[in-house]
Amino acid sequence: MNLSELTLDRKGLTAALACEDAAFEEALCQEAYRVKVATVGPEVYLRGLIEISNICVKDCLYCGIRRDIRCQRYELSEEEVLATARIAARRRYGSVVIQGGERADAAFIGKVTRLLKAIKSIDTGEDPPLGITLSLGEQPREVYEEWFDAGAHRYLLRIESSNPDLYYKIHPQDHSYDRRLKALCDLKEIGYQAGTGAMIGLPFQTAEDLADDLLFYKEFDAPMVGMGPYNPHPETPLTLSGAPYPSARRRFSLGLKMIALLRLLMPDINIAAATALEILDPRGREEGILSGANVIMPNITPREQMVKYNLYDRKTLNASDVQDLASRDIPIGYGRWGDSKH
């Protein structure tokens, strides 16, 4: 396939994703990088990722911290979260992402509210207060409102797959695609910058499904998207079922192409180079940036707990180095929120 033949409709996106020609992939990623620089600028924005707890009430069939898996659970104390957020402020990351397993208990909800207020009052010197993104799953609208009022202004909730049939193949039956969609709409209505995304290279997933994921982001008019390759965790039902999925190389290549195609489809949004890319290639996130992404989430969770936040097999996890970017002359938006221009 030739880049000049690419169209950004379902048929064209599907063909681009199905095409395994390396020269096409390189041309596509280069073009997306060019569009990124021309539209949102060359800067990469940072969000310090704080994984506050791996306790989860959901039982997603692909996830290594699902409710029914046996693993060591942890929850950071308020002081630990604050100390970690202060590291982000000191390093001038500009904003943080508070991510964790989904919880519905009042104690947790109240704790997050207190944390939001406390993080907002961290002294950042000359910079604005830290921006805060939450990634804590589906919550009642009132909880989203409480957290918004306490200072969160962005929320990440992946749709995981925009195809309801595939969604139900990778989630237990008590999950609801419609409820998830409703949660995304609630977030948007409340005033959050609502980010979404999906996994790439799942069992049962077709090139059409991936094209539909891209069209879903466009239709939802998402100001930010974080998507990344599926990485099998050895003890999840999805892995143990033996259902085939694309090779690591193919999932990596699909991950980059999804970023590049999304940049062409939605030139002015924020696109994160997901951590899951780094699992497949030590330079994965840098490659993501060079394919059109403009956000990186360096993981600043205290090491001892980080290793327990095992969504997938993270044995190759390396300390999210921002240095690689500097050595490539990619400017970093230090001390800024880096909100979506969309």
What is the Cβ-side half-sphere exposure of residue 252, based on CA atoms within 13 angstroms? Answer: 15
- Distance between CA atoms of residues 29 and 164, nearest Å: 29
CB of 56 to ligand 5AD, least distance (A): 10
Residue from 119, 273, 311, 332 touching ligand 5AD (CB under 6 A): that is: 311
Residue from 160, 186, 209, 212 touching ligand 5AD (CB under 6 A): that is: 160
Residue from 312, 320, 333, 337 touching ligand 5AD (CB under 6 A): that is: 312
User: Which CB sits closer to ligand 5AD, 24 or 314?
Assistant: 314
- Distance between CA atoms of residues 30 and 155, nearest Å: 29
Q: Give the x/- contact pattern for ligand 5AD in 171-200, rule: CB under 6 A.
A: ----------------------------x-
Tokens of 229: 């390759």
CA distances from 7 to 17, 34, 205, 336 (A): 12, 17, 21, 35
- Distance between CA atoms of residues 63 and 73, nearest Å: 14
Nearest to 301 by CA among 49, 47, 46, 102: 49
Nearest to 290 by CA among 10, 87, 25: 25
Distance of CA 323 to the CA centre of its chain: 21
Q: Give the x/- contact pattern for ligand 5AD in 257-286, rule: CB under 6 A.
A: -------------------x----------
Nearest to 241 by CA among 202, 210, 212: 202
Residue from 47, 58, 103, 158 touching ligand 5AD (CB under 6 A): that is: 158
Q: Give the x/- contact pattern for ligand 5AD in 85-104, rule: CB under 6 A.
A: --------------------
User: Which CB sits closer to ligand 5AD, 14 or 54?
Assistant: 54
Q: Give the x/- contact pattern for ligand 5AD in 204-233, rule: CB under 6 A.
A: --------------------------xx-x
Does 58 sit near ligand 5AD (CB under 6 A)? no
Contacts of 118 (CB under 8 A, 6+ apart): 78, 82
CB of 72 to ligand 5AD, least distance (A): 17
Contacts of 187 (CB under 8 A, 6+ apart): 144, 155, 157, 194
Give the residues lining the site for ligand 5AD (CB under 6 A): 62-63, 158, 160, 199, 230-231, 233, 276, 311-312
